[in-house]
């Protein structure tokens, strides 16, 4: 019996993106970046005001891949065990049994993560990094694929706990959905009136197909010059006069991983400098901590990164990569 050839990553991306955009209107770039994160199992931090579709995006992704979905609403009284799970004693078996928490799903929405206490935030971020939960010396793996979409309200809103910079580094990308334009907002209203929502979406790929796409992305060719380019970009952020703390090596690794996904979604067999540049802002901006003087002068991390991208020479690749 001949095994069917794997579905190309570009087709997987197109199926998921088109399905999600039946509900998320007017935000093709945001949807594509979210799908790219899914393809490398990297986590997303979505920072925006309420009502712009952050929860809907997570639900649409989960429905599109036929995967499980959980929402964890972060509040000051949320406990780490609510996220990871707890051992519960059962009298009929006279033993403790592990009851999984909300983190055990393919797509997890950590809603308003900056309303949770630092201890609870840390419990989530630890699972994000390790992809396992250890209780009573027993490891429990979360399902694959595994994507956390954490939402965060603007920091000036009341009752929030700012995410520490070291924890921000755990997220592959930070996205801002932004308000839709007038035409897209009208389409959102019409879709709602017609009763079209995440629950109306059917899966367009199954989990084995998606995991195969994840493997294809991981195997995509990356020229050494591209790795050097990513490292130089990260180093340039650390050396910039307006930056107190720049992107770490984890940031440069994330940059290449995200670039691999973007290359694969357009059907390329190799990563180009344009792929790296296309994901530089969502991958690196949240990793930059400016100096107090730069903040007083109203400098933004986006501005600094624009200067870094302009200053670091773009490599010229040889062979298939150029």
Query: What are the φ and ψ backbone dihedral angles of 61, each rounded to 5 degrees?
Result: -60, -45
3-class secondary structure, 198: helix
Q: State which fold the 9-213 domain adopts.
A: Rossmann fold (3.40.50)
Give pTM, 2 decimals: 0.87
pLDDT at 72: 92
Please report, in tens digits, the pLDDT of each residue of the chain (322 residues total).
556 678 899 999 999 999 999 888 888 999 999 999 999 999 999 887 777 777 888 889 889 998 888 999 998 899 989 999 888 877 777 788 888 999 999 989 898 888 888 888 888 888 888 899 887 778 889 999 999 998 887 655 566 677 777 778 889 999 888 788 888 888 888 887 877 788 888 999 999 999 999 999 999 989 999 999 999 999 999 999 999 999 999 999 999 999 999 999 999 988 999 999 999 999 999 999 999 999 999 999 999 999 999 999 999 876 544 4
Other CB atoms within a 10 A radius of the CB of residue 189 amount to 11
Residue ranges of the chain that CATH labels 1.10.8.80? 220-321
- Say how far apart CA 308 and CA 104 lie, in whole Å: 39
181 conformational bin, left if phi > 0, alpha if psi -120 to 50, beta if neither = beta
- Say how far apart CA 74 and CA 296 lie, in whole Å: 32
pLDDT at 154: 67
Q: State which fold the 220-321 domain adopts.
A: Helicase, Ruva Protein; domain 3 (1.10.8)
Residue ranges of the chain that CATH labels 3.40.50.300? 9-213
């Amino acid at each position: 019996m001949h095994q069917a050839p794997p579905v190309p990553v570009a087709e997987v991306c197109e199926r998921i993106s088109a399905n999600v955009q039946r509900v998320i209107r007017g935000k093709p770039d945001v949807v594509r970046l979210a799908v790219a994160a899914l393809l490398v199992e990297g986590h997303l931090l979505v920072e925006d005001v309420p009502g712009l579709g952050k929860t809907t995006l997570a639900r649409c992704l989960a429905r599109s891949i036929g995967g499980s979905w959980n929402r964890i609403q972060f509040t000051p009284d949320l406990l780490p065990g609510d996220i990871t799970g707890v051992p519960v004693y059962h009298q009929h078996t006279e033993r403790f049994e592990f009851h999984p928490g909300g983190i055990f799903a393919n797509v997890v929405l950590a809603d308003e993560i900056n309303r949770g206490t630092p201890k609870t935030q840390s419990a989530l971020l630890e699972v994000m990094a390790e992809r396992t939960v250890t209780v009573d010396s027993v490891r429990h793996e979360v399902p694959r694929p595994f994507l956390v979409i954490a939402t965060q309200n603007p920091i000036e809103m009341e009752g929030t706990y700012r995410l520490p910079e070291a924890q921000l580094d755990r997220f592959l990308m930070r996205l801002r959905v932004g308000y839709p334009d007038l035409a897209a907002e009208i389409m959102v209203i019409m879709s709602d009136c017609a009763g079209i929502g995440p629950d109306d979406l059917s899966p367009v790929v199954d989990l084995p197909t998606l995991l195969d796409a994840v493997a294809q992305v991981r195997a995509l060719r990356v020229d050494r010059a591209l790795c050097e380019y990513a490292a130089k970009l990260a180093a340039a952020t650390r050396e910039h006069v307006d930056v107190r703390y720049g992107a770490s090596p984890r940031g440069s690794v994330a940059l290449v991983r995200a670039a691999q996904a973007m290359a694969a979604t357009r059907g390329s067999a190799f990563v180009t400098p344009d792929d790296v540049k296309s994901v530089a802002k969502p991958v690196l901006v949240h990793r930059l901590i400016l100096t107090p003087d730069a903040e007083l002068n109203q400098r933004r991390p986006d501005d600094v990164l624009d200067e870094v991208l302009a200053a670091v020479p773009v490599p010229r690749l040889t062979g298939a990569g150029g």
